[in-house]
Amino acid sequence: MKPIYLTIPLTLVLGACSATAIAEIGFPEPTVLTGHVDHIDEESFVLKDATGEIVIDTEGSSFVGKLASGDNVTVKGVLDEDASMGKDHVVAEEFDAYSVILPNAHEIMLVPYKAR
């Protein structure tokens, strides 16, 4: 008997994830963050929630003009591989975004999800 393989679209896999507080991010699972935009640069922005803040790396995509400070967004992705473990928690400088859901509910896919 041949094995049966199921392919699940990325939007279904990541869409089913619940939001994670920034202070609770861990390795290596894909994570969904929600919060408000604090600052926007050419290829990144700072996302804040009630527990902290983190730089969102948008993989070379500019969100200047698409986001404004204070906008509430959802970001799907993973903690940057360069993050390290602190005494009690992960010390991360960046979160690598796979997609960003804008305030108007439009989702912008940045890179395809790659299982590690």
Q: Residue 83, Cβ neighbours under 10 Å: how many?
A: 18
pLDDT of residue 10: 42
- 1 part of a folded domain: no
The CATH number assigned to the domain holding 18 equals 2.40.50.200
Residue 65 lies in a domain: yes
Q: How far are the Cα atoms of 5, 15, 29, 78 from residue 8, in angstroms, in the given order?
A: 10, 11, 16, 19
Exposed, middle or buried by CB within 10 Å (0-12, 13-18, 19+), for 80?
A: middle
**Domain assignment of residue 116, yes or no:** no
**pLDDT tens digits, one per residue of 10-48:** 444 444 557 778 776 655 567 899 999 999 988 899 999
Q: Specify the higher pLDDT residue, 112 or 102.
A: 102
Cα distances from 106 to residues 7, 24, 29, in angstroms, run 24, 26, 24
pLDDT given for residue 27 in this prediction: 52
* Owner of token pair 């861990």: 26
pLDDT of residue 113: 55
Supply the pLDDT for residue 92.
Answer: 58
Total domains in the fold of the chain: 1
Per-residue pLDDT band for 102 (boundaries 50, 70, 90) equals very high
State the pLDDT confidence band at 85, using cuts at 50, 70 and 90: low
- Alpha-carbon distance of 59 to 101, in angstroms, equals 15
Give the range of the structural domain holding residue 46, as residue numbers without chain letter: 10-109
